[in-house]
Amino acid sequence: MPTLFTRIIDREIPADIVYEDEHVVAFRDIQPQAPVHVLIVPRTEIAGLASLPEEGDHRHLLNAAKVIAEQLGLTNGYRLVINQGADGGQTIDHLHAHLLGGRALEWPPG
């Protein structure tokens, strides 16, 4: 079964896609936690950080985050978050990074 995010990448489920390249697709989170909340998803299905292979689309996440942040005008800073497993708050087992910005973010997270 393809993951929810693969179905978004394949345009089977609608999403507000803000960026894509050959390695990743990025779209707005359906429950935004900040004025800008974008999920950056490698095209290849990897369950999460704990099962990361050495090579693959995920290696382009950081560069994509930088480009997307610039495109969305996050000149005052932003945060990139990857949740892993139950304690990390991961709910969808397809590796993704949350790009959050548009307001001052608190630290530490809850």
d(CA 54, CA 10): 25
For the bound state, the minimum distance from the C-beta of residue 36 to ligand AMP, rounded and expressed in Å, comes to 13
For ligand AMP, which stretch binds (CB under 6 A), given 23-31, 53-61, 72-80, 101-109?
23-31
Q: Please give the structure tokens belonging to residue 90.
A: 């991961």
Q: Please give the structure tokens belonging to residue 109.
A: 């997270």
For the bound state, the minimum distance from the C-beta of residue 2 to ligand AMP, rounded and expressed in Å, comes to 13
Does 37 participate in catalysis according to the annotation? no
Nearest to 19 by CA among 54, 56, 70, 58: 70
Nearer to ligand AMP among residue 76 and residue 91 (C-beta): 91
